[in-house]
Structure 1
Amino acid sequence: MAGSAPHRSRCRVSALLSALVTVVLVAACTNTPPPPLVDPTHTDQVPSDPVPNEVVVGVDELSGGFNPHLLSDLSATTTVLASLLLPSVFRPGPGGDPRLDRSVATSARVVDAEPFTVRYVLRQDASWSDGAPIAAEDFDYLWQRMRAEPGVVDSAGYRLIDEITSRNGGKVVEVTFSEPYPAWRSLFSDLLPAHLLKDAPGGWTGAFSNTFPVSGNAFTVNVMDLERGELILERNDKYWYNPASLDRIVFREASHSGLASALDSDDNQAAMLRADAIATGLLAGIGTPLDRWTVPRSHRVEVLFRPASPQLSDQRVRRAVAASLDRDFLIAAGARSGPSADLRADAQLRSPVDPAFASTLPEDSVLGSGDPDLLVEQLSEAGYALVDGQWLRNGVPFELVVAAPREQEPYTSLAGHVARQLRDLGVETSLVTPPADELYQMLMSGQQGGGASAGTAGGEGENRPIVDVAVVPRPTGGDVATELASWFGCVPAAVDGAPVLPGNPAGFCDPQLQPVIDSVLTGGTPLSEVEAELEGALWQRAVTLPLFQLAETVVATEELDGVAHTRPFLGPFSSALHWRRVGA
């Protein structure tokens, strides 16, 4: 019996080799599709033991949805991961101005004025972590999606592109525009891997729902277990440029008290959280010396009063509803006495961290004043009457649907406050919180009413409520003219029988303002010449009620070296390539 074990082992090995050969031959002779694009959770992987040259960062939220070009995926985590994993032709400089990222491109310049044409020369060695080159097809894929998908971030610049051509194996890319576009440097940030996504069903949204399929930057994903609240990035050994100093960055999700405890015990070397007054107190009580600073996010919180809604198509009604809300209360409730409380968004176009930011809120503005008398006055003028505590017009109740993305704070809780404030004044409201991607489908379908019947909007064979009021994030911190055209511009006309291109989430279109918006976008009119006019007009139209810019509190212990106090536009991990762990 003693000699039978080796014999059985050899038999099993032979059988296994035969089975593998059979599988390979069968796969080579069939049309069986390739395996799924990604293993989205990596839950079968167990993180390796801690290594000396790793940094553990505590976070208070680690949820799925990591496509940086989707409004539904906007979050601090998405911004961090995009900066560490995705290639960008330009990145923000210390003052926010785009600077060429020479790890991706050796040059990018305008080569022709008529038609307006930009030539990008990409590094020959720039490649994705699976070996595919970073090339023209990645530019083309992003362009096609940004001009065709709903709910994308700042699509106006991409809509001006007429054609993308390439040569030299896709390493020289020429982009031709229909109009001059001074902000062309704002395009083609966070490129996506076209070779994996372009033919994959649902690749635009599905591939980044809970992981990154490949990397084109200094780090790559090793483990992403959202259920356990852990994400591990490792240094990308195939990165062609300056390698990261760290071997690994570990992100661990925890409550605010858990984050404070982990910092105090040196289990974490850093933390990133949306701190409120309680969290600020917990951090102040930590015995370990901490370096702490505030990093504003690249988006702010706004309330949309949608002209696309039949209920709010009348500007008087929008102004009445906006005036009835208590803006100060909403800001206090959303900021929770954290750093966002100091970042009030008192302008329609610029964000609080913009060097040129100044309050443009008119002194006599009633928007957000919480004035019930104006609601009575304006609704009465629009033909409504208050009967037994309920607003009616021609016997039909004045009812509003208030929406926010599900389980995304502070939007969900703020939408609840908005609905309550309106109900307290006799306005019937219903609160809906669909998943974020579904919400933007609802907002971007049926622009300016879109032919949908009042109260519902068609979508994938079902009746969806038309959203009247929405509490959503608005991208900010980029090119102001592009943000203006993307957030307030009219729906572009269909091209060559294609579906109508994405408009804006409010469904807002003003023929009087549109020529000015177009001229600013294409450089015909300097923004500085018409900014005051636009600000006044947008406050008057009562389409948006800006609240505040979100901000993260970032802390680091003395064990983490190389951390730069990042300036507003750079993001909290802009110096991560140079971080070092000391004293471990």
Structure 2
Amino acid sequence: MDASTTARGLGRAAVVAIALALTVTGCSSGSSGSGDVPKTVVPTQDADDNNPQPLDKVKDGGELRAPLQQWITQWNPYQVDGRYGDAVEIMTYIEAKIFRSDAKGVFHPVPEYLTSAEVTSQSPQVVTYKINPKAKWSDGKPISYLDFKAVWETSNGKNPAYNIADSSGYEQISGVEQGADAQEVKVTFSKPYADWQNLFNPLMPAAGLTAPDDFNKGWIEKTPITGGPFKIGNIDKSAQTITVVPDPAWWGPRPKLDKITYRVLAPAAITQAFLNNEIDYAGAGSATSYGQLKDAKGGVIRTGTPWDEVHISFGGNGALADQTVRQAIGKALDRSALIKIANQGVPVTFKPLDNHLFMTNQAGYQNNSGDWVKFDPATAKSMLDKAGWQETTAGQPRTKGGQPLELHFVLTDSSAQAQLDMTTAVQNMLQQVGIKVDIDKVPSKEYFTKYINVGKFDLASWRNTGSFPLSAGVTNFRAPEGDNVFGNYSKLSTPEIDSLLKQAAGTIDPVEAAKLYNQADAKIWELGHTIELYQRPAIVAVRKGLANFSAGSLADTEILKVGWEK
């Protein structure tokens, strides 16, 4: 688990981390730190710094105290408002997480739910799942093919009554039916889908999904039916705490922990809460937070390399509806300078990220940015001239039709210092080419719901985490359908990008799939959709003695094994 973010996405689906891009849990005051801290963290695909301990070395019982960066309202991870990372992570503890990824990104069926899962036919592609007969929901019903069918029917995009997060993968399925018995499921695909192990994960109960009102509203501030080793113990909105406790009806090995307590804390308060021994992990990925936490009493720094990227997104309205203007901004920004601001005082090299879909440590990664983000202010000015935005007097924004070229960079009012420094640098860089940038600070709790999710921004910076396997990142760039923008909050897309992404997701051969993904990525750079900055390794302060709990990698947290050393 990358404790400095809001955890994982839906079965590795892209999920927006509520904490802002550069300095997730750092304090917003104090020095930004010096730049001479040794860079000691090198991203590797199989990094998983989690203090591995055999179960006989882990205590039975104990509490894990965890920070939340916003209150959880929608718990259904298949619903468009249910994509907040911490909520999705908790749902994998209390619902049926049927596959688990290891530190190399290889998926394995979870035996408490599946005795087997394999492709049993190539043409058409058929996947057969055999469900553990002991697996059941909290309402007493056995987990069956009906639950797979319900997830498919509600998430395949065919019925607009379901306000879904993403139809990727499900829209390629032509049928879900019972096999030899209700605990055997046959899923047939109309088109090949490479990342089938990413689907139905977590599996949700049909009884809580089938009716549109249940799907959209039945999981708001409650979890009516569960099926995991844990269940919700208490939700206290006034105290902003959520407790998760072992479910006595669980048929698998008992969790080591007696309780996980989540507490909502403003980003700037998380560091101090760790120092006060009020929580057991805190992000240390900023200069300020690392400086405060690296020698914290009772703490230890752990590092990892999850799928975690930092970017600047463009809105798709006003002046930015013009692709040439977006491309000009890409050349007006000095990415290396922006990355250096983020990297100040942090013991990790923030590598420039030149791909929207692959991380630097993933097989298939290549630089597709071309000249689109090559720092070249002179060319940026020429492109703005071409777009009809004429220079005026020195220090004043360009104009077109009497209107000034003025953009709004939206960030939260709790942004850490490095985030503010980065935003100010963007403001200054764009001023040099005749673009005025207003910095709009908005309440943290409204940042996504009232601004990002509805496309009310010109420029904004956040992190996408856990977009693994590759098809999980498609949602961030696919074409919106009606009011559903999936994860593409700028609403910028082209039929060509859409087609390439769909082809890639349906290509079983990973080498051929990578070629298609990279072709799509090159077009995403050309579109001027998003300026990628860097891949963000996880740096987390963890309470000493916490076992089998990582800073974050491609591996899922095995929550049954998490606990305190004896």
TM-score category by the smaller chain? 0.7 to 0.9
Aligned length: 492
SS at match of 1:223: strand
Query: Residues of 2 paired with 1:99 and 1:385: CA distance?
Result: 58
The more displaced of 547-556 and 232-241 is: 547-556
SS at match of 2:69: coil
Query: Residues of 1 paired with 2:272 and 2:500: CA distance?
Result: 51
Query: Residues of 1 paired with 2:490 and 2:349: CA distance?
Result: 25
The corresponding residue for 2:136 is 127
Task: Identify unmatched segments of 5+ residues in structure 2.
Answer: 1-58
Greater Cα radius of gyration, structure 1 or 2: 1
**TM-score of the superposed pair, with normalisation by structure 2:** 0.73
**TM-score of the superposed pair, with normalisation by structure 1:** 0.71
8 Å CA contact retained: 1:94, 1:567: no
SS at match of 1:442: coil
Query: Residues of 2 paired with 1:500 and 1:278: CA distance?
Result: 38
The corresponding residue for 1:271 is 281
The more displaced of 64-73 and 232-241 is: 64-73
Mapping 1:178-257, distance limit 5 Å: 178-199=190-211, 201=213, 203-204=215-216, 207-208=219-220, 210-252=221-263, 255-257=269-271
Distance change >3 Å, CA 409–CA 579, structure 1 → 2: same
Per-residue CA deviations over 1:225-263 (Å, capped at 9, x if unaligned) read 354343322111111112212222334456345334344
Could you tell me the percent identity over the aligned residues? 20
8 Å CA contact retained: 1:332, 1:341: no
SS at match of 2:454: helix
User: Which of the numbers 281, 291, 294 marks the counterpart of 1:281?
Assistant: 291
Shift of 1:511: 4.1
Mapping 1:288-367, distance limit 5 Å: 288=298, 290-306=299-315, 308-309=316-317, 311-331=319-339, 337-338=345-346, 342=350, 344-354=352-362, 356-357=364-365, 359-362=367-370, 365=371, 367=373
Query: Residues of 1 paired with 2:78 and 2:310: CA distance?
Result: 17
The corresponding residue for 1:520 is 504
The corresponding residue for 1:474 is 464
The corresponding residue for 2:49 is none
Shift of 1:96: 0.7
**C-alpha RMSD of matched pairs (Å):** 4.0
Distance change >3 Å, CA 186–CA 166, structure 1 → 2: same
Query: Residues of 2 paired with 1:131 and 1:180: CA distance?
Result: 35
Query: Residues of 2 paired with 1:282 and 1:538: CA distance?
Result: 39
8 Å CA contact retained: 1:405, 1:412: no
User: Which of the numbers 548, 551, 559 marks the counterpart of 2:534?
Assistant: 548
Shift of 1:524: 7.3
8 Å CA contact retained: 2:120, 2:128: yes
Mapping 1:86-97, distance limit 5 Å: 86-97=95-106
Per-residue CA deviations over 1:397-455 (Å, capped at 9, x if unaligned) read 43445456897889996778756754675435564855524546534xxxxxxxxxxxx
Distance change >3 Å, CA 197–CA 60, structure 1 → 2: closer
Per-residue CA deviations over 1:492-514 (Å, capped at 9, x if unaligned) read 7x9xxxx8885843433334455
The more displaced of 136-145 and 539-548 is: 136-145
Shift of 1:293: 1.0
SS at match of 2:170: helix
Query: Residues of 2 paired with 1:67 and 1:298: CA distance?
Result: 23
Query: Residues of 1 paired with 2:271 and 2:327: CA distance?
Result: 42
Distance change >3 Å, CA 380–CA 352, structure 1 → 2: same
Query: Residues of 2 paired with 1:120 and 1:409: CA distance?
Result: 46
Distance change >3 Å, CA 485–CA 555, structure 1 → 2: closer
Amino acid at match of 1:106: T
Mapping 1:419-568, distance limit 5 Å: 422=430, 425-428=433-436, 431=440, 434-439=446-451, 442-443=454-455, 467-480=457-470, 482-483=471-472, 485-490=474-479, 502=486, 504-523=488-507, 526-530=512-516, 533-550=519-536, 552-560=538-546, 562-563=547-548, 565=550, 568=553
Query: Residues of 1 paired with 2:413 and 2:77: CA distance?
Result: 18
Query: Residues of 1 paired with 2:417 and 2:353: CA distance?
Result: 15
